[in-house]
Amino acid sequence: MIRLSIPLFPPSTNNAYFTKMTGSKAKGGKKVAIRVLTNEGRKFKREFKTWVAQNHPEVLSFFSSPSGEYSVLLVLYFRNLYNAGWPKEAKTRHKKIDGTNYIKVAEDALVEACGHDDSQHVTFTVMKAQASKGAEPSMDVWAWNSEEEDGPLEAFVCSQRR
């Protein structure tokens, strides 16, 4: 199992990608929508790859099996998950933050940095957490080879089987 505490925070899918139309109806072609990385998405992936290479080069060999099956837990530490005025002024306790909107660019950065394919991720889970007071948003990445060891998610699921 590996754990990376990364002082970076991924942009949401809404900020990391945009939809571009390709093809031309005028030339008899069919218009096709494709997703393209924004400058913010490219910057995050570049910084992520650089950070891993400089701080955890040993992780590059962790994902070395071309047929390995890996489980990944992404913990996102947000600056503020909660509405300050709750319960008197705010309708809900939690701010409207969709944790799953951060998975795609973070997963793509991980596989590009470590040289494996995301098809090898048999489980990819995201968890939101409150960053420590005064701390910048950041993330932890936990990963384990599912064929070689049971991680915490597998242990929980197996304990719930009837």
How many Cα atoms occupy the beta-carbon half-sphere of 128 within 13 Å? 14
The tokens of 94 are what? Answer: 């939690």
- Pairwise CA distance, residues 102 & 104, whole Å: 6
Q: What is the pLDDT of residue 33?
A: 86
Count helices and strands (H / E) in the chain.
5, 6
Model confidence, pTM: 0.87
Domains of the chain (ranges plus CATH)?
Answer: 2-160 (3.30.1330.70)
- pLDDT score recorded for residue 149: 87
pLDDT digits (tens, 9 = 90+) for 74-127: 999 999 999 988 999 999 999 999 999 999 999 999 999 999 999 999 999 999
Higher pLDDT, 30 or 111: 111
Cα gap 112→49, rounded to integer Å: 7
Burial of 21 (0-12, 13-18, 19+ CB in 10 A): exposed
pLDDT in tens, 130-147: 999 999 999 999 999 988
The mean pLDDT of 61-86, rounded to a whole number, is: 93
